[in-house]
Amino acid sequence: MAAAPAPAAPARPGCRSVSAFHKLEKLGEGTYGSVYAARDKETEQLVALKRIKLSGDNLDREGMPQTSLREVGLLHRLRHPHVVSLLEVVVGSKLDSVFLVLERVDHDLSRLIDSTPAPFTPPVVKRLAVQVSR
């Protein structure tokens, strides 16, 4: 009988490895990173993995983009029903592989805006504003 594969060892002490997740599909790509749908191999939880781009002119002296540092700090402290939750930060096998593990959501405001052919009506704008402000 073959032994079960050992769990993925952390790439850095105190951090889980991105290999603890199974990437399912690419959801999108933006200026600051790519986002993938993924499943935690241990818990089977569906999550979003956002790979932080660590190259270009937007790097801090320590190698992390200032915008990414702000995003991690804000998401770590922020708890709101209408804002995606940061679950953890994981690392890849290389020093420039950093991923945010985010709560998986079915819809986001960006996709809603992109899929709407006409501008939002005033009642829809009001409803969105109420949801974000709660």
Angle CA(70)–CA(71)–CA(76) in degrees, nearest 5?
100
Q: Are 33 and 16 in contact (CB under 8 A)?
A: no
pTM (predicted TM-score): 0.74
What domains sit in the chain, N to C, each tagged with a CATH number? 18-105 (3.30.200.20)
Length of the chain: 134
What tens-digit pLDDT sequence spans the chain (134 residues)?
444 444 444 444 578 999 999 999 998 887 778 899 999 999 999 999 999 877 655 444 566 778 888 888 999 998 888 788 999 999 988 777 899 999 998 877 777 777 887 888 899 889 888 877 77
Find residue 25's DSSP bridge partners: 37
